[in-house]
Amino acid sequence: MIVNEKAPLSRAMLPELQRHAPPGVPVFQPEREDPDVWQVLGGDKDDFLVYDRCGRLAFHIQLPFSFLHFPYVEAAIRSSHIKDFCGNCSLYPNTTQEANSTMEGFATPSSLPEHEGMESETPVHQ
């Protein structure tokens, strides 16, 4: 999906953006009163946010690496589509049984033996 910026010039250029979008890729134009999608997602204009099949952020590609003449955007999309990053995806039948048998609960830094009595300096993302 392509998300167009809410700025007046970007809104005026929406038909041009839609014309250049690849077939099958929708172009979303947020309304002026909608929340800023880039702020909500932690990105900025011209960033590429690539999500995996489970809906998790796999790659966040920022300028100057998001220019399409570099291979990074295509590689991130291909990698997210082809590879199994998490190993716990129900879309892969051979890992579903394995994931269900090993997932008894979420481990937090305080529940791991090597972290007992220690405060975590970095947040844990689940």
What pLDDT, on a 0 to 100 scale, did the predictor assign at position 1?
Answer: 87
Q: What is the pLDDT of residues 8-53, one digit of tens each?
A: 999 999 999 999 998 999 999 999 899 988 888 888 888 999 988 8
What pLDDT, on a 0 to 100 scale, did the predictor assign at position 63?
Answer: 92
Q: What is the pLDDT of residues 64-78, one digit of tens each?
A: 999 988 999 999 988
Q: Which residues contact 28 (CB under 8 A, 6 or more apart)?
A: 1, 2, 3, 4, 37
Confirm whether pTM is higher than 0.85: no
State the Cα–Cα distance between residues 72 and 59, nearest whole angstrom: 10
Q: Return the SS3 of 75.
A: helix
